[in-house]
Amino acid sequence: MPSEYRLKRRVQFYETDMAGIAHFSWFFRYMEEAEHAMWREVGLSIAGGSGVGWPRVEAAFEYLRPLKFEDEFEIHLRIIAKDARTITYEAIVSKDETRVATGRMTVKCVSKKPGEQMHSIDIPPEIDAVFQVAP
């Protein structure tokens, strides 16, 4: 049962600003990319089409060092908290084992059935059983 996932990546040109540094907004995308890869690793999709959705209800990053065009880096994603309706991730972005940024994101399980207003629900048992809080 996964509680952690590591994703290796490279900064693309279109992700950088005029100084050649990865734009701050891309770090949220990197974290989300690692989240989606974690779900795929266990045979699930965060957009599974089962009438359940996972909106982001909180997200933040602390930036320590820049990433530049063509830098190779790693996103280490861990589940740091989970309750009946939410999962909270921590993402550590590092380059050559040096921490570049640390982020957090909380997602909430919601029902998103056609014709109904979206509302919070308990995490389905088949998903709840798969993801655990990292030790």
For residue range 43-54, list pLDDT tens digits in order: 999 987 778 999
| Secondary structure class of 6 (helix, strand, coil) | strand
Instruction: Output the pLDDT for position 3.
Output: 86
Residue 134 within any structural domain of the chain: no
- Percent of the chain scoring above 70 in pLDDT: 98
Signed CA dihedral, 119, 121, 127, 133: sign only: positive
Signed CA dihedral, 122, 49, 91, 125: sign only: positive
Q: Domain holding 55: CATH number?
A: 3.10.129.10
This prediction has a pTM of 0.92
pLDDT tens-digit series, residues 4-16: 899 999 999 999 9
Residue 90 within any structural domain of the chain: yes
Tokens for 84, please give them: 């009946």
pLDDT above 90: residue 1: no
Considering its fold, how many domains does the chain have in total? 1
Structural domain boundaries enclosing 30: 4-128
pLDDT tens-digit series, residues 47-90: 877 789 999 999 999 999 999 999 999 999 999 999 999 999 99
> Which residues carry out catalysis?
17
Question: Please, is 46 exposed, middle or buried when counting C-beta atoms within 10 Å of its C-beta (0-12, 13-18, 19+)?
Answer: middle
Residue 10 within any structural domain of the chain: yes
Tokens for 92, please give them: 């550590």
**24 vs 8: CA distance, rounded Å:** 18
